[in-house]
Amino acid sequence: MDKEYHYYITFIIALRAGFKKDEAYKIAYSSQYTDDNDTPYEINEGQDDAYENYISQTENITKPQEERLRIYTIFHFMPGTPDEIWRVSLDRKDGKLHLLNTIPNNQNAAALLRDALKSGNFYWIGIATHMFADTFAHQNFVGFKDEFNAMEGFLEGLLPNIGHAEAKYQPDIPNLRWKDERLTSKYKARHNRSIFLEATGCIFDQYCSLTKPPQPEALKKALLDDIGNAIGKEADKDTNALRSQRQKRYKGLLKKNYVEYKKKSWFNEAIRYERDPLTVGVSNTEALLFWKEGFKNSDWYLFQEAVKEHQRKAKEILNPTFERMEVAKLSNW
pLDDT value at residue 68: 65
Distances in Å between the alpha carbon of 296 and those of 52, 115, 254, 273?
A: 13, 23, 30, 17
Distances (CA, A) of 252 to 5, 23, 188, 232, 256: 15, 19, 34, 14, 9
Q: Give the SS3 label for residue 64.
A: coil
pLDDT (0 to 100) of residue 158:
44
Taking only the tens of pLDDT, the chain with its 333 residues reads 999 999 999 999 999 999 999 999 999 999 999 999 999 999 998 888 899 999 999 865 445 555 566 899 999 999 999 999 998 888 999 989 999 999 999 999 999 999 999 999 999 999 999 999 999 999 999 998 888 999 875 354 445 677 888 888 999 999 999 999 999 999 999 999 999 999 999 999 999 999 999 999 999 999 999 999 999 999 999 999 999 999 999 999 999 999 999 999 999 999 998 865 555 454 455 678 999 999 999 999 999 999 999 999 999 999 888 888 876 665 555
Domain boundaries, the chain: 3-329
**Pairing state of beta strands 42-43 and 51-52?**
antiparallel
Residue 145 DSSP symbol:
B
Instruction: Please tell me the pTM assigned to this model.
Output: 0.92
Euclidean distance between CA atoms 272 and 292, whole angstroms: 6
Please give the torsion angle defined by the CA atoms of residues 241, 59, 122 and 315, in that order, rounded to the nearest 10 degrees: 130
Q: What is the pLDDT of residue 154?
A: 38
DSSP 283-316: SS--EEEEEPTTGGGSHHHHHHHHHHHHHHHHHH
pLDDT of residue 6: 98
CB 108 within 8 A of CB 135: no
Kindly report the CA angle at 102 between 247 and 303, in degrees rounded to 5?
Answer: 55
